[in-house]
Amino acid sequence: MSRGQHEPERRCTACRQIRSKAELLRIVCPKDGEPELDMTGKLPGRGAYICPSEECVEKALKKGSLARALRRQLPESLAEQLRNAAGGRGNA
Ligand SMILES: [Zn+2]
């Protein structure tokens, strides 16, 4: 029963799996701005999390679950960034 070593966990917006926060991509939406990819995990604002996998990124973009979680339309540039961060190229 050790306490105090709990790793933060978050749910992927696409597949709904709970993973350690460090494993997920964070997208954050500042109060008066456009959603952006938060590589530091420290930007303020409403955040959503997603697995760094093409599958989850495509799913979230297609179904709009990410936009819904952020309550904001995703700019196309962010969609690009997410695809890149997820490895984009597929497994050749
Ligand atoms: Zn996922």
What architecture is the 9-85 domain classified under in CATH? 2-Layer Sandwich (3.30)
Q: How far is the CA of 71 from the centre of ligand 1 (A)?
A: 19
Q: How far is the CA of 70 from the centre of ligand 1 (A)?
A: 16
Q: How far is the CA of 85 from the centre of ligand 1 (A)?
A: 13
Average pLDDT of the chain is: 90
pLDDT tens-place string over residues 2-46: 566 788 999 999 999 999 999 999 999 998 899 999 999 889 999
Q: Is the pTM of this model over 0.95?
A: no
Q: How far is the CA of 11 from the centre of ligand 1 (A)?
A: 8
Tokens 């306490």, located at residue: 3
User: Residues with Cβ < 8 Å from 55, sequence gap 6 or more?
Assistant: 14, 15
CA distances from 20 to 8, 49, 50 (A): 6, 10, 11
CA–CA gap between residue 15 and residue 69 (Å, rounded): 13
